[in-house]
Structure 1
Amino acid sequence: MDKQDLLIRTAFRLFYSRGIHAVGINLVLAESGVAKKTLYHHFPSKEHLVEAAVRFRDRSYRKWLTSRLEQVPAGKPALLELFNALDDWFHSRVADIENFHGCFFINASAEFGAQDNIIHQACSEHKAAITALIREHVDKLSIPEKKKDEITRLIVLVKEGAISLAHVQGNLDAALQAKKIIEGVLSATQGQKKTSIEE
């Protein structure tokens, strides 16, 4: 691991567990063992380091989630597996993405709230990418085309709600509760499609 990568990984771990504004550059240096001159060679400011940490988390989280969804058939099985993956994350059973401290992108965007801020935009891009991943599997469902946007939005909203409940209220079973809701909706929606065909 080169020093730039070490700085990013160390900064992410600290930012995620303690909060971005609560972590100073000196703590990142102390934890990483990298010299201040080296840090500023790679990152002219703390905000540049924060952006790099957000981009790093985006890559690692999407790689993990995509891998989980690829372990089951596309479509409904993958959409339900999404919530199994979240359940593992909430219970800190996923070593690759750190123990659960809520959604780093929600946390970071709250600390950099201006819509035109580069960090806020990076967080928004991550959420859009996850929505697109979900939509790929919604497109595999045997449901009317006009329902696909609605189902995608519903899954995204329920997913985000589960993350918030797990973090804010400590409801670590929120993912499996959300899975039951989505399973019911998908079964009902696909059942309507089947009935329509039979008619």
Structure 2
Amino acid sequence: MSKKRQLLIDTALSLFYKQGIHAVGINEILLVSGVAKRTLYSHFSSKEELLIAALETRHCVFIQWLENKLSNAKNDLEVVSLLFQSLESWFDDNEPLLGEFRGCFFINTCAEYNDVTCEIRKSCEQHKLRVRQVVASKISNENQDSVTIICTLMEGAIVTAQVSGYTQPLIEQCIKTSQIMLHD
């Protein structure tokens, strides 16, 4: 990938995540990146195509981060503890790979795109499915029915942290609820 293309993707991702997609125009992306309009359009035919590339980049970063965070779990209880402790660390802006916490980029993106059939929404849906697969891959076979609940708690924690900033008691409750569920 060319350096200019990656710079455009990184700039767009940063601006979209901080300000929202519809609030950021192509001219702002060009200004911040220092890339010429002609160069941008030689790599991307539209803002939506640039957004898809930004979503793909964020997806790869997030999945790598999540897999790394859960890699040392020895059992299901450790998976949920590591999962929610890692989320709390992200909410508290202690995860440099993910940057400053501003909610889930994929949830935020879906909030700006109403058409559930558009490629942007499909990209967000694929991300959420992959996150679920990562969590499921770490949970033992006898607890696979619990994966949906764990992932729902995770998504709820992300939204709650974004909206209210209320994290520690929330994370503790998510861990406790998950552990109780895994024992039943």
**Interval containing the TM-score (normalised by the shorter chain):** over 0.9
Matched, 1:175 2:176: no
Provide the rounded CA distance (Å) in 1 between the counterparts of 2:128 and 2:114: 15
Greater Rg, structure 1 or structure 2? 1
Q: Tell me the distance in 2 between the aligned counterparts of 1:64 and 1:148.
A: 22
Provide the residue aligned with 1:83 in structure 2. Answer: 84
Matched position secondary structure for 1:95: coil
2:135 is matched with which residue? 134
TM-score by length of 1: 0.86
For 1:115-143, what per-residue CA distance to the aligned partner results, in whole angstroms no more than 9, with x for missing partners? 110010000000000111111122x26x3
Q: CA deviation at 1:74?
A: 5.0
Q: Shift of the alpha carbon at 1:148? A: 2.3
Identity over aligned pairs, percent: 37
Listed as ranges, the matches of 1:34-113 within 5 Å are 34-113=35-114
Mapped to 2, the partners of 1:75 and 1:172 lie a distance apart of: 22
Give every structure 1 segment of 4 or more consecutive aligned residues whose post-TM-superposition deviation is greater than 3 Å: none
RMSD: 1.5
Give the counterpart letter for 2:53 in structure 1.
A
Query: Unpaired runs of 5+ in structure 1?
Result: 190-199
CA distance change for structure 1 residues 43 and 74 in 2, over 3 Å: closer, same or farther?
farther
The two structures have a TM-score, normalised by structure 2, of: 0.93
Q: Give 1:148's aligned residue.
A: 144
